[in-house]
Amino acid sequence: MSVQLLTYLLVGITFALYIGIAIWSRAGSTKDFYVAGGGVSPLANGMATAADWMSAASFISMAGIISFAGYDGSVFLMGWTGGYVLLALLLAPYLRKFGKFTVPDFIGDRYYSKTARLVAVVCALFVSFTYVAGQMRGVGVVFSRFLEVDVNTGVYIGMAIVLFYAVLGGMKGITYTQVAQYCILIFAFMVPAIFISIQMTGNPIPQLGLGGQLADGTYLLDKLDGLQAELGFHEYTSGSKSKIDVFFITAALMMGTAGLPHVIVRFFTVPKVKDARKSGLYALLFIGILYTTAPAIAVFARTNLIQTVSNQPYGSMPEWFSKWEATGLLTFTDKNNDGTIQYVADTTINELEIDRDIMVLANPEIADLPNWVIALLAAGGLAAALSTAAGLLLVISSSVSHDLLKKMVMPDINEKQELWAARGAALVAVCVAGYFGIHPPGYVASVVALAFGLAAASFFPAIVLGIFSKRMNKEGAIAGMVVGLAITLYYIARFRLHWIGTINTSEEKDWWFGISPEGFGSIGMILNFVTAIIVSRFTKAPPKEIVDIVEDIRIPSGAGEAVSH
């Protein structure tokens, strides 16, 4: 059976499963829609959180970036994994005890201000739309190759699917869909990795295969370092980024993780604070399976790619090469008209351009694995992208319907009207997300990294200070969020999107302090903290009832059931 037919079959089965779950678990109330009724078990919530967390950036793009950047790509592993630990231990249990539906809900009530709630809604929308752009691009990349449709058409198909189960099922439908999606994506990610690890090193454990030996006795990483050097690329196991940029990118990813609204809301779906801690542990274990495997996949893919294409006749390329060429994500330009592929670091000579987002998806094809493995990987990539996109759409819709409409504009709206408003907001959100998926500002992982920077610069300080500082008031929190978000948005607009200044501002020599746009969220976060603390010290202290709330959520005893204030 052909790859395309198998892909249609497996993707069709998984989509039918998602839609079936959405119909079975459709939301009947706003509590179902926002937090799945608050009754999800820790194990199921751990799986759903892992699927929500492991987006197209983790599944498709992270290993792709590592395969090209080598050592430098480790910032994504360190930042995202460390950030999840920070979230699970430092913030999630306290937010769960507070007993609210959304992050803007927490900020609005903790800082006793409609203005604070509005600023939080704006921050949530910026973060979520930036993040979801990467997911929709991931969907387009998968569809464009394996269903052999245009990238834009692939985005439209993904929009339709995710809209159906997100709008119908809300958080309840999304949660149980994400449990299924985790099972699919982790199986799809591991099977090719195990196959290729056995094929290259004889070891069935990819994590060990990464440090293993090839048939000729050469260590795999030594082999790749040699191949890279021959082509003029920097050694795979050495870094080229400055230490300050690595530090700030890692910090932005970590703090951004702890401020991501679509991940935080997952901890509101369990019955007890104790369950929030348990589901955090389960999720970390489930996430660790993929994250410890990604570096191995990156090395396997890079080694096989160089050996397959470098200095080889263009006419002898296997079928996968022409299939990816048809998508426009891989291009060959015969600059010297010799019919041989020159793949080198020197851009004036190099004849092959490869989109980093295709590396994981093309990996089993390059390794000549069975067609069913290739089709399985496509289904897994879609599961990863759609699971996170659904969670993000829910954050967007709840920010509009619950935090903006119910809490600020139309407080008398009934539950049924609020539910319809949430579904309408999701419809608009998926259209906007689709636009950004068609016109993304970069590779999936780099786009997602920008979202993490925005979350770090806006939400993280407000949440941390809201939990651990009784003196923090509304003026400080509002000023901090505005300053952090504004400076980070300006930096991204100038140095990544080139909307401000000249095109030369994309060059590293123009970056402030040598920090890339992906890492500048750390600077925004520092300015947020400083601004919030200074302003709070020169303005009126929060009311006693707010101080009592802060004291209450920090006391572990009696934390069995969430307390709603």
Has residue 435 been placed in a domain? Answer: yes
Confidence label for 484 from pLDDT (cuts 50, 70 and 90): very high
Predicted confidence (pLDDT) at residue 558 exceeds the cutoff of 50: no
**3-state class of 37 per DSSP?**
helix
Q: How far apart, in whole angstroms, are the C-alpha atoms of residue 222 and residue 514?
A: 31
Has residue 560 been placed in a domain? Answer: no
Predicted confidence (pLDDT) at residue 556 exceeds the cutoff of 80: no
- Based on its alpha-carbon atoms, the radius of gyration of the chain, rounded to whole angstroms, reads 23
How many CB atoms neighbour CB 479 within 10 A?
Answer: 18
Tell me the two tokens of residue 11.
């993707």
Residue 144 has a pLDDT of: 76
Residue 543 has a pLDDT of: 92
Predicted confidence (pLDDT) at residue 523 exceeds the cutoff of 70: yes
The distance from CA 187 to its chain's CA centroid, rounded to whole angstroms, is: 19
Nearest CA to 189 among 322, 330, 64?
64
Confidence label for 44 from pLDDT (cuts 50, 70 and 90): confident
Rounded to an integer, the average pLDDT of 25-44 is 63
What does the CA dihedral 285, 287, 290, 293 come to, rounded to 10 degrees? Answer: -60
CB contact at 8 A, 109 and 407: no
Residue 487 has a pLDDT of: 94
Residue 360 has a pLDDT of: 86
Better-predicted residue by pLDDT, 88 or 46: 46
Q: What is the pLDDT of residues 189-231, one digit of tens each?
A: 999 999 999 999 999 999 999 988 898 889 999 999 998 888 8
Has residue 437 been placed in a domain? Answer: yes
**3-state class of 332 per DSSP?**
strand
Q: What is the pLDDT of residues 379-430, one digit of tens each?
A: 888 787 777 777 777 777 777 777 778 777 787 888 778 778 877 887 888 8
Q: Which helix (H) or strand (E) holds 351?
A: none
Q: Which residue has the tokens 């929190």?
A: 477
Residue 444 has a pLDDT of: 57
Confidence label for 446 from pLDDT (cuts 50, 70 and 90): low
Better-predicted residue by pLDDT, 226 or 506: 226
Has residue 434 been placed in a domain? Answer: yes
Q: What is the pLDDT of residues 126-147, one digit of tens each?
A: 888 777 777 777 777 777 777 7
What is the count of structural domains for the chain? 1
Sign of CA dihedral 62, 141, 285, 282: positive
Q: What is the pLDDT of residues 149-196, one digit of tens each?
A: 777 888 888 788 777 766 665 666 677 778 888 888 899 899 999 999
Residue 150 has a pLDDT of: 76
Angle CA 321–323–327, to nearest 5: 110
Residue 504 has a pLDDT of: 47
Has residue 565 been placed in a domain? Answer: no
CB contact at 8 A, 76 and 134: no
Q: How far apart, in whole angstroms, are the C-alpha atoms of residue 115 and residue 108?
A: 8
Predicted confidence (pLDDT) at residue 534 exceeds the cutoff of 80: yes
CB contact at 8 A, 324 and 362: yes
Predicted confidence (pLDDT) at residue 537 exceeds the cutoff of 90: yes
Predicted confidence (pLDDT) at residue 41 exceeds the cutoff of 60: yes
Angle CA 180–143–170, to nearest 5: 40
Q: Which domain holds residue 215?
A: 3-553
Predicted confidence (pLDDT) at residue 505 exceeds the cutoff of 50: no
Confidence label for 101 from pLDDT (cuts 50, 70 and 90): low
Q: Which helix (H) or strand (E) holds 331?
A: strand 330-332
- 556 phi, psi to nearest 5 deg: -70, -30
**DSSP letters spanning 439-495:** S-SS-HHHHHHHHHHHHHHHHHHHHHHHHH-SS--HHHHHHHHHHHHHHHHHHHHHH
Q: How far apart, in whole angstroms, are the C-alpha atoms of residue 286 and residue 10?
A: 23
Q: How far apart, in whole angstroms, are the C-alpha atoms of residue 382 and residue 139?
A: 6
Residue 203 has a pLDDT of: 92
Has residue 89 been placed in a domain? Answer: yes
Sign of CA dihedral 126, 132, 136, 138: positive
Q: Which residue has the tokens 């990294």?
A: 449
Question: CA-CA distances (angstroms) from residue 553 to 365, 543, 546, 559?
Answer: 52, 16, 11, 8
Residue 55 has a pLDDT of: 73
Has residue 291 been placed in a domain? Answer: yes
Q: How far apart, in whole angstroms, are the C-alpha atoms of residue 531 and residue 538?
A: 11
Q: How far apart, in whole angstroms, are the C-alpha atoms of residue 350 and residue 536?
A: 56
Has residue 218 been placed in a domain? Answer: yes
Q: Left if phi > 0, otherwise alpha if psi is -120 to 50, otherwise beta: which for 404?
A: alpha
Angle CA 278–279–281, to nearest 5: 65
Least confident of 190-194, 274-278, 553-557: 553-557
How many CB atoms neighbour CB 150 within 10 A?
Answer: 13
Predicted confidence (pLDDT) at residue 557 exceeds the cutoff of 50: no
Predicted confidence (pLDDT) at residue 499 exceeds the cutoff of 70: no
User: For residue 28, what is the domain's CATH number?
Assistant: 1.20.1730.10
Residue 167 has a pLDDT of: 64
Residue 216 has a pLDDT of: 86
Query: pTM here?
Result: 0.80
> If you ran DSSP here, which 8-state letter would residue 352 be given?
E
Percent of the chain topping pLDDT 90: 20
What does the CA dihedral 14, 17, 18, 20 come to, rounded to 10 degrees? Answer: 160
